[in-house]
């Protein structure tokens, strides 16, 4: 059975039972069923609660065994000591997917929690049931209107082609609001929790074949089988970009990882080295993770590392150049034809070599478009950074450049920085991103993501070259 079929009941269920569903907002079961309803799930919903006849307008059942129809996915939010019994009932019912919200298992500082988790693993492995969790916030599949979590607001996240897989539910709750502010559409958001029988490598294999996922982002605290993770990541990364934020650099966070999801973080430098060898992009902040994933989701891959920087204000261009060079990129040497044309277009007061500063021409829209177009078709340029900070005199600049940037983005990656107060340029920024031109609020963030996509493209070329030479 292929991975897509193996996880179909988890990510594309036709029916869901919420075990522990409640009308009491103080119970996680209330928030779980509310998430499903607000998410617009179009399948059947079965609350399971022995003390209620109805929950949130739906007929409730004393146990999952009493549900009259087939159940694809069970969401379990009940006290830990009765979870094994309920899991066995799920197995008898023929359930093939479980999201186990309940905590207090392998991560607990007692002997009972790990024992209960082992019991759950034995039952689910015997019956071929896939378990997300325990100790998870849940999962979200925006393309299926599925919010199988305890946070209804996840359904507000924009649909897209990025999938996030995290050991930490808190990290998912950080990234989702960030994406609403900074952009980046998601396909699936997955909280693995303790990873009872579904680990990072398993989900990577699933997402490898998922047509709704173009980019995979991971937040990793620690894993139990690092070798398998690296082997799978190395294969998947050649098809889809993988961006990883690895926590646990130091002893304190390593210890916290053990009490959080029951895994030692361990060997940070070894993880980074192994991921680099596997063509996986590593980042060191949640912001850069989201920024880089967004760039991969929108941009084509560059053919080289030669960058052109064009700015409406010189300071922004200088910052972008510094970040590009600091990250190993080359500021492109423009062709003689391009240089000559730029000199014709821009006055001597401007900086007319790369980086190019528009100078007094930044409010002459026709000149701006022609400069950007000229540099964009230069054969010595592999990618571009375009920057312009808002001033009342240049308010139309983003709108005026949009069509030109769209055209260039079809041939090579273009990242932009158009900072502005409030919601000024909001419509223009959305239009750009709908045409595969990502927009960032600072020159540092724009340059950093460009460096990441260039490095990924270089790693792929290096792998391909090595593979070719190995077969000679």
Contact 130, 197 (CB under 8 A): yes
Other CB atoms within 10 A of residue 259 CB: 10
The predicted pLDDT at position 258 comes to 47
Predicted pLDDT of residue 257: 45
- CA-based max dimension of the chain: 81
* Spatial separation of the C-alpha atoms in residues 385 and 376, rounded to whole Å: 10
Contact 342, 313 (CB under 8 A): no
- Residue 188: its pLDDT value, please? 98
- DSSP secondary structure code for residue 156 in this structure: G
List of residues 6+ apart from 339 with CB closer than 8 A: 352, 353
Burial letters 315-324, b for 16+ CB under 10 A, else e: ebbbbbbebb
Based on the number of CB atoms within 10 Å of its own CB, is 408 exposed (0-12), middle (13-18) or buried (19 or more)?
buried
User: Which ranges of the chain have pLDDT less than 50?
Assistant: 253-254, 256-262, 264
CB of 221 within 8 A of CB of 267? Answer: no
Topology at the third CATH level for domain 157-298: Rossmann fold (3.40.50)
Q: What pLDDT score was predicted for residue 259?
A: 46
Cα–Cα distance, 170 to 149 (Å, whole number): 12
Give the separation between CA 293 and CA 121, rounded to whole angstroms.
33
Q: For residue 264, what pLDDT is reported?
A: 44
Which DSSP string corresponds to 163-183? EEEES-HHHHHHHHHHHHHH-
CA 359 to chain centre: 37
CATH number of 1-137: 3.40.50.720
Which CATH superfamily is 300-458 part of? Succinyl-CoA synthetase domains (3.40.50.261)
Cα–Cα distance, 53 to 438 (Å, whole number):
50
Whether the Cβ atoms of residue 136 and residue 101 lie closer than 8 Å to each other: yes
Helix and strand totals (H; E) in the chain: 17, 20
Integer Cα distance of 281 and 432 in angstroms: 25
pTM, whole model, 2 decimals? 0.94
pLDDT at residue 262, as a whole number: 46
Tokens (6 digits) for 172: 């998912």
Run of H or E residues at 147: strand 146-149
Q: What residues contact residue 14 under an 8 Å CB cut-off, 6+ apart?
A: 43, 44, 70, 72
pLDDT of residue 250: 67
State the Cα angle at 255 between 251 and 258, rounded to 5°: 145
Contacts of 22-28 with CB under 8 Å at 24 or more apart are: 22/49, 22/52, 22/55, 23/52, 23/55, 23/56, 27/77, 28/77, 28/101, 28/150
CB count within 10 Å of CB 94 equals: 12
Give the tokens for residue 102: 């309940």
Contact 233, 209 (CB under 8 A): no
pLDDT value of residue 470: 59
Helices (H), 328-396: 336-345, 365-376
Domain boundary assignment for the chain = 1-137, 157-298, 300-458
H or E element, residue 119: helix 112-127
Can 157-298 and 300-458 be said to share one CATH topology? yes
CB 382 within 8 A of CB 408: no
């Amino acid at each position: 059975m292929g991975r897509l079929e193996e996880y179909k009941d988890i990510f594309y269920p036709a029916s869901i039972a919420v075990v522990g569903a409640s009308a009491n907002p103080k119970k996680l079961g209330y928030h779980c069923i509310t998430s499903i309803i607000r998410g617009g799930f179009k399948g059947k919903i079965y609350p399971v609660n022995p003390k209620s006849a109805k929950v949130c307008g739906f007929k409730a059942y004393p146990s999952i065994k009493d549900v009259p129809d087939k159940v694809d996915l069970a969401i379990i939010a009940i006290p830990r000591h009765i979870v094994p019994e309920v899991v066995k009932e799920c197995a008898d019912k023929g359930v093939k997917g479980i999201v186990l919200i309940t905590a207090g298992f392998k991560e607990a500082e007692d002997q009972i929690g790990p024992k209960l988790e082992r019991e759950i693993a034995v039952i689910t492995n015997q019956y071929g049931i896939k378990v997300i969790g325990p100790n998870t916030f849940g999962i979200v599949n925006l393309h299926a209107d599925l919010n199988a979590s305890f946070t209804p607001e996840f359904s507000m996240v924009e649909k897209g082609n990025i999938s996030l897989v995290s050991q930490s539910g808190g990290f998912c709750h950080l990234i989702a609001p960030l994406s609403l502010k900074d952009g980046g559409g998601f396909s699936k958001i997955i909280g693995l929790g303790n990873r009872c029988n579904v680990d990072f490598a398993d989900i990577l294999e699933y997402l490898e074949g998922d047509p709704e996922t173009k980019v995979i982002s991971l937040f990793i605290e620690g894993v139990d089988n690092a070798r398998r993770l690296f082997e799978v990541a190395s294969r998947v990364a050649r098809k889809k970009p993988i961006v990883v934020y690895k926590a646990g650099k130091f002893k304190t966070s390593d210890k916290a990882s053990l009490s959080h999801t029951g895994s030692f973080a361990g060997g940070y430098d070894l993880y980074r080295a192994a991921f680099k060898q596997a063509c996986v992009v590593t980042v060191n902040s949640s912001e850069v993770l989201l920024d880089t994933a967004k760039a991969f989701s929108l941009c084509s891959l560059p053919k080289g590392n030669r960058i052109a920087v064009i700015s409406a204000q010189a300071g922004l261009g200088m910052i972008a150049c510094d970040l590009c060079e600091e990250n190993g990129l080359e500021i492109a040497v423009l062709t003689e034809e391009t240089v000559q044309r730029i000199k014709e277009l821009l006055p001597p007061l401007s900086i007319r070599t790369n980086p190019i500063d528009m100078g007094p021409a930044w409010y002459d829209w026709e000149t701006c478009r022609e400069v950007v177009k000229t540099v964009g078709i230069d054969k010595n340029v592999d990618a571009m950074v375009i920057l312009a900070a808002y001033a009342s005199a240049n308010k139309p600049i983003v709108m005026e450049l949009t069509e030109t940037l769209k055209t260039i983005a079809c041939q090579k990656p273009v990242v932009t920085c158009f900072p502005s107060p409030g919601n000024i340029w909001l419509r223009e920024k959305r239009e750009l991103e709908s045409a595969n031109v990502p927009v960032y609020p600072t020159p540092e963030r724009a340059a950093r993501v460009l460096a990441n996509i260039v490095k990924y493209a270089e790693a792929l070329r290096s792998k391909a070259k090595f593979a070719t030479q190995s077969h000679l």
